[in-house]
A = this chain, B = another copy of it.
Amino acid sequence: MNKSISLQTNGQGLYEITDEVIALVSESKTIDGLCTVFVQHTSASLIIQENADSSARRDLEGWLNAFINQIDFDFTHTAEGSDDMPSHIKAALTAVSLSIPIAHGRMQLGTWQGIYLWEHRRGRHARSVVVNVR
């Protein structure tokens, strides 16, 4: 089963999609299997991170920007905006696909794990994530 999740982002940050993925796994009626989440973009990525304390996600976002800003490098690929090339780098350093085992009809996420789309660009963007359940 392949289904898409569409998101409208509004600036940099983590957008949780755990409930949408859980719903698709449930809909597939898969008891034992594998759920793969794939983002169809190169300036947004995927991350599984702590779902308990939002300060962890804010620090993650703030730190990643600080890190990119502190590396001294002159980009040549600037036609799509000053936040485009840093976004490609952030996407390259995080994940484009994640695979989560399914057992007893449930994704085997740990207690504190949530699934997020990580938007790296400023402004509004339409994002698409494909969820594959087998």
Give A residues with C-beta under 8 Å from B: 1-2, 32-34, 36, 38-42, 47-50, 53, 55-56, 58-60, 62-64, 66-67, 70-73, 75-77, 79, 85, 88-89, 91-103, 108-113, 128, 130-132, 134
Contacts and interface: CB of A to CB of B under 8 A. Distances in A.
Main secondary structure, interface of A, reads mixed
Contact of A113 (B42, B94, B103, B108): B42
Contacts of A111: 40
A128 B110 contact: yes
A113 B42 CA distance: 7
Given A60-B89, A92-B49, A94-B93, A66 B72 contact: yes
Contacts of A2: 32, 101-103, 108
Contact of A77 (B55, B76, B98): B55
A1 B104 CA distance: 11
A15 to B, nearest CB: 15
A10 to B, nearest CB: 20
B132 A88 contact: no
A36 to B, nearest CB: 5
A99 B42 CA distance: 15
Contacts of A67: 71, 73
